[in-house]
Amino acid sequence: MGMRRIYRTEVHAAHCIPGHESCGQIHGHAYQIEVKLSSVPHYDFVDFHDIRKFCEEIINEFDHRNISEPLIHEDGITIPAINTAEQLTEYLHEGITIAWEEYLSNRRPGKAHAAHVEIQVFETSKFGAELS
């Protein structure tokens, strides 16, 4: 796959899984998130600050809130309720993939590229979900 850029962060959020024996009550986690970005063709320089900016715009929506409740923005955009690490991983993967593709398109307008995103979301130090 070639060069991958890596961004790591964490968010603190509460959630519950209705009907689950141990996770049915609202509780919180410090979710550890790792994003790996690559592209074809390979670009020699990608500003890490740009990566942090577009990743944080998506990831920080979940920081210090109950992610099991939908979030409705003033502009009408709704972030759905998210109950599991797998759902959070899927949502972040979709949003960051779109942002990475836009970044690459703006970098070299009219040039073909293939963007690839891998994301890991750890709910605890032992358990997480990954999507690529």
- Is the Cβ–Cβ distance between 113 and 105 less than 8 Å? yes
pLDDT recorded at residue 73? 80
CATH of the domain at 14: 3.30.479.10
Residue 116's CB is within 10 A of a number of other CB atoms, namely 16
For strands 5-15 and 65-66, give the pairing.
Answer: parallel
Q: Give residues with Cβ within 8 angstroms of 126, minimum separation 6.
A: none
Specify the number of domains making up the chain: 1
Q: How far apart are CA 99 and CA 51, in angstroms?
A: 9
Structure tokens that stand for 131 in this block: 């999507």
* Residue of 75, 86, 78, 92 whose CA lies nearest to 15: 86
* The amino acid at 102: E
Structural domain for 30, as ranges: 5-131
Which DSSP symbol is given to 115?
Answer: E
Q: How far apart are CA 21 and CA 56, in angstroms?
A: 33
The runs of H, that is alpha helices, within the chain are: 48-59, 85-107
pLDDT 10s per residue in the chain (132 long)? Answer: 578 899 999 999 999 988 889 888 999 999 999 999 998 877 667 889 999 999 999 999 999 999 999 988 878 878 889 889 999 999 999 999 999 999 988 887 777 778 899 999 999 999 999 999
